[in-house]
Amino acid sequence: MKQRVDMTEKPLPKIPIPWKVRWSQFRFGWVPYGVFTAMLVLTIGLWREVNHANTTGVGEGAKSLVTSPFVGRLMHVMVNPYQVVQQGDPIAVVQPVDTRAGLDLWRGEMDLMRLRMQPSAAEQNAMAYERLRLELAVLKSELAIARVNLQRAENELARNTPLYREKLVSEDVYDLSLQTRNALAAEVEQKSEAVAMVEARMKKLQALGDPEYSLGSHVNGAMVERLDAMRSVVASNWAPVVLEAPITGMVGAIWRQAGENVVEGEPLVAIYSLYADHVVAYLRQPYVVEPSVGLKAKITSRNRDRTVYETEVTHVGARLEVITNQLAYIKPGALVDTGLPVIMDLPPHSRIRAGEVVDVLIENPQPRTFSLWDLLRGQHPPRSM
């Protein structure tokens, strides 16, 4: 009879698994899940870094031209290209060259001298007023004499009238006394009117003859001060003029050098602002967004550390324009690149330089549905915010 062997008493020895087999099991069993998880995390991280823009734009800032205010010679240029200047810093020195300045200065000095001699004219006015007062006194005395003669003629006419009625005097004597009375009456009337007229006129001209009246001196003083100021201005036109920077920025082009002659209004130096104050983007047809003022927008710089600025559309162009800056992209078979300009202001703390290309995302308030036919034609759906 065979004996039964008890297999539970001794455990079976483990079969050794080579490390090569274990590595093969790990590689085919767990590595795909790990790689998938890592790629998913990496894809999510990269997707967050992707700039969802529907157009591009370029920063634009202020540009100022320093021009010559008059004809002259450029004596000295005090800046260099790409130098940063502050508002009010000296830029250049211009020596005016004006042939009329000497004549204007001489004419101004003559007028000033003539006005300073005006007190003699005031004295002449006072003497003329005194002469008029004397003539008025003579006229009053003549009026008084005429009144006395008129009274005497009336008395004589009163005596001759009854005598003429009684035929005691001739008609010639009576007519003589009557005409004499009438002539003297007319003389008294005319001289009375003349006296009244002269007195009224003298009341109006009393200021000219009053030595205590100082209005004329004040007027002359003001005119002298004004002419003196004008003479100083004319005299200063001969002095060199220092041209100052109108804005804070960087010196760009310098068109004239020291020693050259310049004309009035000729540009000498161009100054560009350090940073842009607005962005100009161009929408090409077909428009991914129907632009309108007030649409929200995001502007993203293309630096290593992307900075996003939130703004809105401030202006939209009225027509398509030819793109001539770095945003131009001429397609094969096209002569020029055109687009609809859209302007967006930048916040004051932005650090986008003028001429820098940025990515722009304009929010679409009414997203357009995209069909399969659009994809077949090669168009891509616009990315939403």
The string of DSSP letters for 120-137 reads HHHHHHHHHHHHHHHHHH
Instruction: Please determine, for residue 1, whether its predicted confidence score (pLDDT) is greater than 50.
Output: no
d(CA 313, CA 318): 14
Q: What's the token pair of residue 282?
A: 């161009």
| Confidence band of 296 (pLDDT split at 50, 70, 90) | very high
Higher pLDDT, 100 or 264: 264
d(CA 25, CA 156): 167
Pick the CATH number of 63-98+237-272 from 2.40.50.100, 3.30.950.10, 3.30.2130.10, 2.60.40.10: 2.40.50.100
Amino acid at 299: I
Whether the full predicted model's pTM is greater than 0.75, yes or no, is no
Q: Which regions of 290-377 does DSSP assign to beta strands (E)?
A: 296-300, 308-316, 321-322, 338-345, 357-362
d(CA 282, CA 319): 11
User: In 3-state terms, what secondary structure has residue 342?
Assistant: strand
Query: How does the average pLDDT of the chain come out, rounded?
Result: 80
Q: pLDDT tens digits, residue range 109-168?
A: 777 677 666 555 566 677 777 787 888 888 888 888 888 888 888 888 888 888 878 877
The answer to whether 150 and 185 have CB atoms below 8 angstroms apart is yes
Instruction: Please determine, for residue 13, whether its predicted confidence score (pLDDT) is greater than 70.
Output: yes
| Confidence band of 384 (pLDDT split at 50, 70, 90) | very low
Q: What's the token pair of residue 197?
A: 């007229």
Element (H, E) at 27: helix 19-29
Q: What is the pLDDT of residue 168?
A: 79
Q: By C-alpha distance, which of 63, 66, 91, 62 is closest to 268? A: 66
Which of 50-64, 292-306, 371-385 shows the highest mean pLDDT?
A: 292-306
Q: What is the pLDDT of residue 119?
A: 56
User: In 3-state terms, what secondary structure has residue 324?
Assistant: coil
In angstroms, what CA-CA distances link 147 with 136, 174, 177, 198, 343?
16, 21, 16, 19, 95
| Confidence band of 20 (pLDDT split at 50, 70, 90) | confident
**Which of the residue ranges 93-97, 186-190, 226-230, 280-284 would you say has the lowest mean pLDDT?**
226-230
Query: Which distant-in-sequence residues (6+ apart) come within 8 Å of 205 by Cβ?
Result: 129, 132
Cα 51 to its chain centre, rounded Å, is 39
**Could you state, in order of their start, the residue ranges of all structural domains in the chain?**
55-61+275-376, 63-98+237-272, 108-233
d(CA 177, CA 153): 7
Q: What is the pLDDT of residue 276?
A: 92
Mean pLDDT for 91-110 is 74
Pick the CATH number of 55-61+275-376 from 2.40.30.170, 3.40.50.150, 3.60.9.10, 3.40.50.720: 2.40.30.170
Q: pLDDT tens digits, residue range 268-285?
A: 999 999 999 999 999 988
Higher pLDDT, 219 or 72: 72
**Which of the residue ranges 101-105, 365-369, 371-375 would you say has the lowest mean pLDDT?**
371-375
The answer to whether 61 and 277 have CB atoms below 8 angstroms apart is yes
d(CA 28, CA 33): 9
